[in-house]
Chains A and B, each alone.
Chain A
Amino acid sequence: MESLEVMQSFLLWLGEDQASGALKYEEIRQKLIRLFRYRGCHIPEELADETIDRTARAVLKPDFRYQGEPIAYFRGVARNVYFEWLRNERRLPSEPISETNCELPASGGGSATGELIHDCLERCLNALPPAKKSLLIRYYGSEKRGKIDGRQLLAEESGIGLNALRIQMFRLRNSLRSCVEKCKVKVEML
């Protein structure tokens, strides 16, 4: 934003006074970053700042007329920023995402990254309580066609609902992923 005065006027539009406006500013910025991230943008912070700058410029124009919650106005601006970004992305030659790179290997894996993930997974899974390790393996070991049925069956065997099982798996998977990430960094540093 260009000057301190502009910033102060903008904060007063957001809140009753500058302090509450500053809090609101940060809250809206975080929400915009979240929105752009879930939209699949790889520069969510930059797009959130662009949205805020454009909104501030519009708000401080003498002929600005808007009655309503600031967040609704931000949403409209964020939408334009997103579509502009998308158009630019499509114009630029992007690195193609090979589907085959992401498919499950038919057998054995073999790449250096694959082996690293495999070794780290083994370490991290072995650090889990055996019951949890076994649950994870059964959950993710279901066959392609039988994915839904296999997980439903597992939930029934565990005496819990499918949603509850998904919640458990979500937590386990997140902690496992963070363990694997740490392990990869350690191994790569050696």
Chain B
Amino acid sequence: MNLSPEKRYRRFFLGIANEEEQCRIEEEVLTGEVDDFFLQNTEDELIDDYLLGSMTQEERQGFSMSFLSTKERRQRLAFAAGLIEYARKQQAEELSTSWKLAQRSTIRAVLSWKRAALLAATASVLFGVLAGLELMKLRDQTQVAQETRNELTRLQATLAADNRRAAQVAGPSTGILSGTEDAVDRMPVIEFASTTRSMYPVVFRVPANARFARIDWKLSAPLAEKYREVLLSGSGQQLWVQEFPAVVLSPANRSTIVLPASILSPGTYHFRLDMVSTSGGFEELADCVFRVVRE
């Protein structure tokens, strides 16, 4: 039986895994092939399924006989039960409020359709004027961005040449690089697309003698003016963070990061891409999990 990792671990937690499945999981946990994020998330999913009645009879039995054997899991169950109950109440209240509002607004709309028509006409005129103003502002901004981009491309070429020289003289050098430098192309590389999101780690093979490793992001299209890339260890420790404006992306919307291979010891990592949100803070755009194997 070839089950997905999630199904295998569910059976393990419920105490219904067979001998072979148990051995495989014990090995994976002891060798660190599976990270705590995946294990805890699978436990949370089990708790949700139990509370939402999405379990088979065999699973329900395993859940109460085996899974709930520790106090910590029982506390997590109580928390999840509270959260689900609270969320349902909130949704029910929101539904009832929006229903009442909809009723009221329908009555008002029927009673004052003439006033509504007048308001709509005024709004459309105002919208037209505002749109015209925004269009003019956008044209100006596009021109400034183009000029900035040209200047940055020139500076980037200079920076890349400097970085290459620094790497030869002083060892590790890092930063966003563009272009097709030979040294960068020879490094072990892992590539993600902005749409890549996986909870199951992709394997990144890094030769033992490698001095640098490369992580490439390929964005489908620029979505924000500014991005942030964050490398986290399996335990959530932040190992690397880098912010950059969209204008420094290569024409193919590719971002390349070069890291000293020494920080990538065997284990699981998260590579997260954040983009600047409308409120000015960062919000998560993508999150990829990968496992480093040194060979």
- B residues in contact with A118, CB < 8 Å: 82, 85-86
A163 engages B27 (CB within 8 Å): no
Q: Please tell me if the beta carbons of B90 and A167 are within 8 angstroms of each other in the complex.
A: no
Given A71-B31, A99-B64, A148-B54: A40 in contact with B69 (beta carbons within 8 A): yes
> How many A-B pairs fall under 8 Å by CB?
133
Q: Measured between alpha carbons, how far is A6 from B32 in the docked complex, in Å?
A: 28
Which residue, of B36, B84, B85, B198, has the highest number of chain A Cβ atoms within 10 A? Answer: B85
The residues in A between 84 and 133 inclusive whose CB is less than 8 angstroms from any CB of B are 89, 97, 99, 102-105, 109, 113-114, 117-118, 121-122, 125
Interface segment, one of B40-48, B145-153, B250-258: B40-48
Q: CA of A42 to CA of B70 in the docked complex: distance in angstroms?
A: 5
Assess the B13–A138 pair: CB atoms within 8 A: no
Residue of B26, B32, B36, B73 ringed by the most chain A CB atoms within 10 A: B26
Rounded to whole angstroms, the CA-CA distance of A34 and B43 in the bound complex is 14
Main SS class of interface, A: helix
* CA A71 to CA B64, docked complex, whole Å: 31
B199 within 8 A of A: yes
Closest to B84 in A: A140
A22 CB-CB contact with B under 8 Å: no
- Cα distance A125–B89 in the bound complex, in angstroms: 14
- Roughly how many angstroms separate A132 CA and B22 CA in the complex, as a whole number? 37
Count residues of chain B with CB under 8 A from any CB of chain A. Answer: 55
Given A40-B69, A147-B54, A167-B199, the answer on whether A35 and B26 have CB atoms closer than 8 Å is yes
Shortest C-beta distance, A33 to chain B (Å), equals 11
Kindly name the residue among A42, A79, A173, A176 whose own CB sees the greatest number of chain B CB atoms within 10 A.
Answer: A173
Q: Does B139 contact A (CB under 8 A)?
A: no
In whole angstroms, how far apart are the Cα atoms of A34 and B198 in the complex? Answer: 23
Residues facing A in B16-41 (CB within 8 A) are: 26-27, 29-32, 36-37, 39-41
Contact of A78 with B26 in the complex, beta carbons under 8 Å: yes
A114: chain B residues within 8 A (beta carbon): 82, 85
**Nearest A residue to B61, CB-CB:** A99
| Minimum Cβ distance to chain B for residue A19 (Å) | 18
Can you name 28 A-B residue pairings with CB atoms under 8 Å?
A: A31-B30, A35-B26, A38-B13, A40-B69, A42-B69, A42-B70, A75-B30, A79-B26, A99-B60, A102-B50, A102-B81, A113-B78, A137-B87, A139-B87, A140-B83, A140-B84, A140-B88, A142-B52, A163-B197, A166-B41, A166-B199, A167-B41, A167-B197, A167-B287, A170-B40, A170-B41, A177-B76, A180-B79
**Chain A contact residues, CB within 8 Å of chain B:** 31-32, 34-35, 37-38, 40-42, 71, 74-75, 78-79, 89, 97, 99, 102-105, 109, 113-114, 117-118, 121-122, 125, 136-142, 144-145, 147-148, 160-161, 163-164, 166-168, 170, 173-174, 176-177, 180
Given A104-B85, A144-B53, list of 19 further CB < 8 A pairs? A38-B12, A38-B29, A38-B39, A40-B15, A40-B66, A40-B69, A40-B73, A42-B69, A97-B65, A104-B51, A117-B79, A118-B86, A140-B48, A140-B88, A145-B53, A147-B48, A163-B198, A163-B199, A177-B76
